[in-house]
Amino acid sequence: MIASGAILAALLGGCGDKGTGVSVLDTTATVSDDIATVITVDWTTDVDAAGYVRYRTDEGAWQTPVDAGGTTHQAVLLGLPPDTDVELQVVARQDGVDVATGELLQVSTGALPSDLPGMTVEGDGATDYMLTPLIGAVTGPVIIDPQGRVVWYHEDTRGLDIYRARILPDGSGVIYAAASVSGDPAADSALVVVPWDGSSETTIPVPLLAHDFVFLPDGTITAIAVEYGEGPEGEVRGDRLVDIAPDGTLTDIWTSWDCFDPAEQPGDDPELGWTWVNALDYDEAEDAYYVGIRNFSSIMKLDRATGECEWVVGDEAATIDIEGQRFIHQHQFEIAGRRLLVFDNEGLGGTRSRVMEYDLDVDAGVATETWSYEPDPSIYSFVLGDVHRYDDGDTLVTWSVAGQIDRVTSAGVPNWTLNTELGYAFGFNSLYDDLYVGR
């Protein structure tokens, strides 16, 4: 979201035609019946014009993206805390110039549902909105602002697991995977699309979905799903990557058997499954996936165009060795250039999780430990967990099962910590500095 306080403050008092012949008419602002922190603004203009909405609270001012133009308009105000007074004003624009303003409206967001968990925050180091599934008595995606407040939410009641949610590339809402990872996979798993105002759910059936999915530049989604196949002693539970095209067409693009052999690389947790792929990232520049394989304690690079398994770093099936401490049963990770950052669920042993960082030298075939972080007292997230490195060197750590998110400095000092009340965990964490994706 773009803070534009000075501009807004200067213009909020204005109203009406500025002598350009454009009038903003019939402005209404409606708090969503389904999400009390979302306000939908509708207006018309008497002639074709583009438009946007400026809005402010006691904490700052923002604006929606400029729309495509026309005479009928709608914008959704995002990022607002609950129980907050909001001033808003429509601005009409022609040829890149603001030409008219609508009336100044005042509206208040509503209260959060009582079954959302309370959250506490220490520190002020957070900068991003965090879109993460809540898992617990209430399950569904929420967006948490840097102050630790829920500013968007949607409860999913289908009884499946939700571990990843993302903002749609067109900025129209949120998509999440409703799957089953605990126990048997679900035949009725699906990707679920929810518009910002929460007024509907659109499901895209994808059987046997697992933990994670990514968007490709053309809007295709690649998701992890379970695949059963032949093992040395009968059927084993492996994984596949499936493309979901924008038209909903499903295409399997990879399976565990394409790169590995269950007889040669059996994994270390056969009761759970064979490979147990649990995390997926996409590198647009490389047109490659990075695939986290829990039961190998390894991460693989997969070329999307060729299907080639380029390298594996970690333990089982590794082509790149670790120098330093290994990660075990990792979940989400981040690869940026030569830096490999990993949420290491069990490398410390016992009930302690940590973050590991490596210098990844693919040519030399070695990943050298460069940094690690273990909180004191220790925190254990036996599943899930996520990491992100900021440009300033801070690291955001999502201790999923512990319901805690930390931003820590390179010296390992937390400068922001968020905790949920007992009974709620987080899924993977998708970060956004602006909720208006694609602005």
Partner 1 sequence: MIPLSALVLAPMLLACGDKGHDTAGDTGDTLEANIILTDANNFSYVGDIDIPSFTTASATDIEVCWTKMTEDLQCHELDPVEDIDNIGLVRFPHLSETEVEEALSANSLQQADISGYVEWNTNHNQTCIRLSEFSFFGTTIDITAEYTEEGGTYMLMFAEGLEPGVGARNLVFLNPDSSSDVTRVDVGSGCGLLDFSADIHSLTPVSAPADGPWVVDWSGITSDGLGSPIALEDIDEVMLAFYEGKTPTELEASFLDLELIATELYSIPLEGGSKADLSEATGSSGDFTGFKAGGTWIFALKCSTCYNPAPLFLTVMESQ
- Decide: is 136 part of the binding site for partner 1 (CB under 8 A): yes
In the complex, minimum distance from the CB of residue 424 to partner 1, in angstroms, rounded to a whole number = 6
Greatest CA separation for the chain: 80
Q: Does 112 bind partner 1 (CB under 8 A)?
A: yes
How far apart are the C-alpha atoms of 143 and 157, rounded to whole Å? 18
Q: Which of 403, 430, 434, 436 binds partner 1 (CB under 8 A)?
A: 403
Binding partner 1 by CB under 8 A: which of 282, 311, 371, 382? 382
Cis amide leading into 81 (omega within 30): no
> Footprint of partner 1 on residues 69-88 (CB under 8 A)?
82
Using CB under 8 A as the binding rule, whether residue 30 contacts partner 1 is answered as no
The DSSP bridge pattern shows strands 221-231 and 209-215 to be antiparallel
- 353-356 long-range contacts, CB within 8 A, separation 24+: 353/378, 353/379, 353/380, 353/381, 353/382, 353/385, 353/399, 355/387, 355/395, 355/397, 356/325, 356/327
Q: Which stretch binds partner 1 (CB under 8 A): 53-61, 115-123, 221-229, 247-255?
A: 115-123
The CA distance from 135 to 400, in Å, is: 9
* Min CB(26)–partner 1 separation in Å: 23
Strands, E assignment, 154-247: 161-167, 173-179, 190-195, 202-205, 209-215, 221-231, 234-244
Measured from the Cβ of residue 184, the count of other Cβ atoms closer than 10 Å reads 10
Asked if 424 interacts with partner 1 (CB under 8 A), we say yes
Binding mask 178-197 for partner 1 (x = CB under 8 A): ----xx--------------
| Cβ pair 82, 36 in contact under 8 A | yes
Q: How far is the CB of 310 from partner 1 (least distance, A)?
A: 31
Q: Is 116 in the site for partner 1 (CB under 8 A)?
A: yes
| 111 in contact with partner 1 (CB under 8 A) | yes
Part in contact with partner 1 (CB under 8 A); list of ranges 11-19, 55-63, 108-116, 247-255: 108-116
Q: Is the dihedral of CA 415, 420, 424, 429 positive or negative?
A: negative
Please pick, from the candidates 179, 383, 396, 397, the single residue that binds partner 1 as defined by CB under 8 A: 383
For residue 159, state whether it binds partner 1 (rule: CB under 8 A): no
421 binds partner 1 (CB under 8 A): yes
Q: Which of 399, 416, 428, 436 binds partner 1 (CB under 8 A)?
A: 399
Distance of CA 395 to the CA centre of its chain: 16
Residues that bind partner 1 (CB under 8 A): 36, 82, 110-118, 120, 135-137, 182-183, 350-351, 377-380, 382-383, 399, 401-404, 419-425
